[in-house]
Amino acid sequence: MNVAVLISGTGRTLQNFIDEIAAGRLDARIELVVASKPGLRGADVARRAGLPVEVIDRRAFNSDAAFGDAVTRAVDARSVDLVLLAGFLHLWMFPDRYRGRVLNIHPALLPAFGGKGMYGRRVHEAVLKSGARESGCTVHFADHRYDGGHVILQRKVPVLPGDTPDSLAERVFEQEKIAYPEAVRRVASGAARLPPP
């Protein structure tokens, strides 16, 4: 599978894909990394790995649609089978030809603790505040809603007494490292498909 990876942060998920591919556990090639602003650590991760990086600064566009069009042009310019949202904080209104070919990962058990503004530390804070006894991660087909779309797989972790947002985040991320490559393998094999509209 040729993939594009869209990032807005440190690139931990991108690094995991790089490591999984290098270890031979994920049969994929990263054709493009799109960074949503300059200076991201994730872009440095990509460059160190010799991957092509395109910076598309969200702040340079006056609408989500214009930004999304720029992202689409960048992805269209490559031969890409799947687009992997990896901590990408913006809603990409991708064209219909990408339906079923865009995946996202969320650090909670959707539909709980998802939606606009629910990302990163905010998610883990909300989980702890709710008193939930478990959390985890969800990989899903992306659609045009924040954290919407058909679920491919989830992995769970317990919420432990004394957990902080950081300790919970680390436990969830260990499961993300397993779940996201597995979801890509399922899509590549045809075991996971987006249901008809």
**Annotated active-site positions, please?**
106
- What is the 3 state secondary structure string of 54-89? EECCHHHCCCHHHHHHHHHHHHHCCCCCEEEEECCC
For residues 56 and 76, what is the distance between their CA atoms, to the nearest angstrom?
14
For residues 38 and 57, what is the distance between their CA atoms, to the nearest angstrom?
7
* Alpha-helical regions (H) of 91-164: 121-130
Residue listed under structure tokens 């498909």: 193
For residues 69 and 51, what is the distance between their CA atoms, to the nearest angstrom?
22
Q: Are 109 and 134 in contact (CB under 8 A)?
A: yes
